[in-house]
Amino acid sequence: MEVFKYDEKRVTRINVFMKKLLAASNTDEKVKIFKEYEKDILELNPLDIFYLDFYSNNSNLSIKEIKDSANRFVNVFHNGINKHSKLRDHALFNELLAENRRMETTLAQIKQYYNRDEILSYKAELLRIFEKCLAFENKFIKFENIIFPNLEQKLPSTKPLEVLWELHDDARVMLKEIIKSLNSKSLDIERLIKDIGTYHYLIFGINQKEEIILLPVANQILDDNELNRIYNETLEIGYVFCENDLEPITTDSMAKNLGFFMTETGKVSFEQLTSMLNTLPFDITFVDKDDYVCYYNDNKNRHFPRTPSVIGRLVKNCHPPKSVHVVEAIISDFKSGKKDFEEFWIEFRGKLLYISYYAIRDENNHYLGVLEVSQDITRFREINGEKRLRDEFEES
């Protein structure tokens, strides 16, 4: 396997190049800048991207500003970083690449109906294709909840991953708008055509950034055991439009803890405790005092995805960039003692979810972390009167 060589001098020169290029006012000036830094551009490798000032965690640029320039620089650096895009033969990479091709094949079906003068005649066909694209969500979830956290631990910056997550969210929003338009009786054709083009460009751009930057970096910094574990986790979420029954890779599983959990209020085995927590009718996640995710229960009806890769991940990296500030504000209030509890409720996939946060403190009131609890309370809306336990038995 080729080893990427990080060259500090090259990265420094590329930093200067990027600033000069953005400041350039005309084509002649840009051509001159390209010639000056051509050798560095062609030698750039995917790992270097994570060391650039623009994409560092200390960058002064917002996610939106980085995102707006991302495609331009990916195109600029394409010839250099694309030389390093060969991946080892592993099920994870093979399935992710195959998934991308299936997604692109689905999107390619749009072309036959993408005619401004005839688009009204093909609303049903277009709607069918874009409703199929809702399945792309599984791909986004795999990256956000499994692949990103495994890379975050080994890279100098998470900013490129945040940008990709933001692009996922852009694609989600755009797809909803397109489906909404196609279901509308008063269709704005010009807007629809623009949105379809934007969505198509978004998906292909996301796939490209994965294949020439993210996956080659994963290939470089993750060993086979890590890839095996990640692949097995992805099987729980599934691959878009995959018709094959994918088998997990056999790995050494963690030994079960056969001890007991004992407190003043009782004693249960760890097996019993685990089963109890997983049977609770709600999802729980515990984040420690240093903001790292430590535990979640494995509720089979979980509302939001959780995978073992989330353990040890900074909680701010578990949320879309646009909502991180909300999470940080809640935790800050808990740490300062300003609050001990926060709650909200949302409509989510046809359900009413009640989500609450609790500050966890020890007997001396020292902050230990935060417990997130989410529960489907849809049926509670319909409850009236009483139903006593004995009523069930008296009727039977």
pLDDT (tens digit per residue) in 120-137: 889 999 999 999 999 999
Which neighbouring-strand residues pair with 356? Answer: 343, 373
Task: Taking residues 233-242, report their average pLDDT.
Answer: 96
Read off the pLDDT band of 240 (50, 70, 90).
Answer: very high
Q: Distance between CA 21 and CA 77 in Å, rounded? A: 13
Nearest CA-CA partner of 369 in 307, 304, 285, 277 = 285
Q: What is the pTM of this model?
A: 0.84
Q: Distance between CA 396 and CA 390 in Å, rounded? A: 10
- pLDDT above 70 covers a percentage of the chain that reads 96
Nearest CA-CA partner of 312 in 149, 156, 140, 144 = 149
What's the mean pLDDT when you consider all of the chain?
Answer: 92
Q: Which domains can be identified in the chain, with CATH numbers?
A: 1-251 (1.20.120.520), 260-382 (3.30.450.20)
pLDDT (tens digit per residue) in 275-311: 999 999 999 999 999 999 999 999 888 888 889 999 9
Task: Taking residues 267-274, report their average pLDDT.
Answer: 93
Q: Residue 255 above 60 pLDDT?
A: no
Q: Which tokens belong to 65?
A: 């500003």
CB 240 within 8 A of CB 142: no
